[in-house]
Amino acid sequence: MSKIRVRFAPSPTGYLHLGSLRTALYDYVYARKMGGTFVLRIEDTDQTRLVEDSVDNLITSLATLGIDYDEGPHKDGGFGPYFQSQRLPLYMKHALELIEKGHAYHCFCSKETLDQMREEQVGTHNNMKYDGRCSRLSKDEVTARLLNGEPHVIRMKVPKHQSFVFDDIIRGRVDIESDLIDDQVIIKSDGFPTYHLAAVVDDHYMEITDVIRGEEWLSSTPKHIFLHESLGWTPPHWVHLPLLLGTDRSKMSKRQGDVAVESYLSKGYLKEAIINFVALLGWHPAGDKEIFSLEEMISEFDFAHVNKAGAIFDVTKLDWMNGQYIRSLPLEYIADCSRTYFLEAGFDISDHGKYLKVVDKSRNYVSILSLITDYAAKFYIFPKIKETDKDFLTSASSQKVLSYFCDRLRIKYNWTKDELAELVSKGIEELEIKGKQYYQPLNLALWGETSGPDIPTALDILGTEETIKRFQAIMK
């Protein structure tokens, strides 16, 4: 058996779709698992949809996520170029070869003609397809019109009364009648190939063994098989993944909300969580394990455990999983990922020791990292005391608590967390007051709110100086 070669073949439309990410992930994991090669190929055959910088974006996003390709742009593996726009002559050559063999033909029908044809077919109890009129043109007429410079495309000529049968790795046997298949355009009037031709030609020349793609391609697979066979090639294995669905159960798309991986990344979803979560949409490892790394996925991945049914992308569980990662990944790493949000909020995080403590405490309160500053703010922003709380804070009892702490804290500069814990528990004994009378003024003075982190941790993070400053601000 030959070595596995798989490809991820996005079209550069500006961002990495969550569904594409999952496909890329399965490609990557499968290649790693099998000791195969993962190829990145850019399908930029639609000149009308080119988005500037999107290829760089895509490559950056994949790199950020840790999904490395073995061959592709900037990584020549001897099968390049990896941009379809740079392989045009190859597609044309095979399109002409197909014409020669009688498997394709020139078509001169205008857009208007085609629109009208479709309109006439609406309501018919049939599949809508091209009626094949140009396939019946005489050779002489074709030559004449070509010479005359008439705009034209090349269409595949699908045989009648035949059936295309193939075995999908996930779905098993699929059988489709050739009469249902349209004479699909393979070369557009601008000379560019359509997806169908380009993908088939490239898959062949790049020696792709397994085509892993979304289920939306299932019904056009016969066209691809037809092209492979007409060209005398052996088709690859087909692996059609279940679709990623929006909450309305339809194919996940931009208009249902965020589908760009980049936007999840910038909102503060960790790559570990995104990958873990997306992987689970359609696949699951043995047992009840739900949190796993890319490495673990590689060792356990198997198409036999990929589902057939589409999966709804429910962000609620992603939030939970992201929270799990925020809390369990190394503190320095989380601090690193959070930095940008703190800077955006304008917090002075030059004191790295304090910053780490803040992150360590705050990470318990968020499931999306961009929101970490909501909680962390209390450690960086001086509290505003509400008018309604002032009476309580200036009461003799409250003042006693605050001055108790100011007095003790002033003794030295460096308090350990244990010492602070001891101080706090000793304080409530020595002052002989109830919990509420004790903690309420401290919380209010510290944050302007009645709740907050436990006091020893709070004082440890804030530091002696800042703590005293906050207390003194409301002491008479």
Confirm or reject binding of residue 111 to RNA (CB under 7 A): yes
Q: Find the helix or strand (DSSP H, E) in which 408 lies.
A: helix 396-409
12, 44 in Cβ contact below 8 A?
Answer: yes
Per CB under 7 A, which of residues 1..20 are in contact with RNA? 9-11
The catalytic position among 254, 289, 386, 417 is 254
Q: Among residue numbers 338 through 377, which ones bind RNA (CB under 7 A)?
A: 364-365
> Residue 306 pairs with which residues in a beta bridge?
283
- Residue 252 vs residues 273, 372, 418, 455: alpha-carbon distances, Å: 19, 29, 51, 46
Confirm if 67 and 298 have CB atoms less than 8 A apart: no
Q: What sign does the CA torsion over 185, 188, 193, 195 have?
A: negative
Contact criterion met (CB below 8 Å) for 131 and 113: no
Site size toward RNA, by CB under 7 A:
86
Q: Give the residue with the Cβ less far from RNA, 52 or 288.
A: 288
Q: Is 325 in the site for RNA (CB under 7 A)?
A: no
Known catalytic residue: 111?
Answer: no
Min dist CB 252 to RNA, Å, is: 8
Which 379-418 positions form the footprint of RNA (CB under 7 A)? none
Work out the end-to-end distance of the chain between its first and last CA atoms, rounded to an integer number of angstroms.
85
Q: Which stretch binds RNA (CB under 7 A): 93-101, 201-209, 280-288, 378-386?
A: 280-288
**Interacting residues of 167 by C-beta distance below 8 A, sequence separation 6+:** 173, 174, 237, 238
**Residue 317 binds RNA, judged by CB under 7 A:** yes
Q: Is there binding between residue 314 and RNA (CB under 7 A)?
A: yes
Q: CA angle, 238 as apex, 193 and 79 as ends, to 5°?
A: 55
* Residue 267 sits in the site that holds RNA (CB under 7 A): no
Our finding on whether 133 is near RNA (CB under 7 A) is: no
Check binding of 136 to RNA (CB under 7 A).
no
Q: Which of 25, 60, 454 is nearest to 280 (CA)?
A: 25
Q: Is 220 in the site for RNA (CB under 7 A)?
A: yes
CB of 207 to RNA, least distance (A): 19
3-state secondary structure of 321: helix
Cα–Cα distance for residue pair 286/310, rounded to 1 Å: 20
Restricting to residues 288-307, name those near RNA by CB under 7 A.
288, 290, 305, 307
Q: Which residue has the tokens 């003042």?
A: 399
**Nearer to RNA by C-beta: 2 or 288?**
288
Q: Of 25, 185, 337, 358, which one interacts with RNA (CB under 7 A)?
A: 185
Rounded least distance, CB 438 to RNA, Å: 8
Q: How far is residue 285's CA from residue 295's CA, in Å, rounded to a whole number?
A: 12
Smallest separation (angstroms) from RNA to the CB of 204: 16
User: Which of the residues 73 through 92 are near RNA (CB under 7 A)?
Assistant: none
* 119 in contact with RNA (CB under 7 A): no
Q: How far is the CB of 160 from RNA (least distance, A)?
A: 15
6, 209 contact by CB (below 8 A): yes
In angstroms, the CA 149 to CA 143 distance is: 10
Binding of RNA at residue 249 (CB under 7 A)? yes
Interface stretch with RNA, choices 27-35, 108-116, 134-142, 389-397 (CB under 7 A)? 108-116
Q: Are 211 and 241 in contact (CB under 8 A)?
A: no
145 binds RNA (CB under 7 A): no
Exactly one of 177, 295, 418, 465 binds RNA (CB under 7 A); which one? 177
The answer to the question of residue 334 lying near RNA (CB under 7 A) is no
312 touching RNA, by CB under 7 A: yes
Q: Applying CB under 7 A, which of residues 85, 263, 324, 370 lies at the interface with RNA?
A: 324
Other CB atoms within 10 A of residue 33 CB: 15
Among 166, 355, 379, 439, interactor with RNA by CB under 7 A = 439
Closest to 264 (Cα-Cα) out of 318, 200, 324, 197? 318
Only one residue has tokens 């339809």, namely: 250
User: What's the closest the beta carbon of residue 281 comes to RNA, in angstroms?
Assistant: 5
Catalytic residue IDs: 254
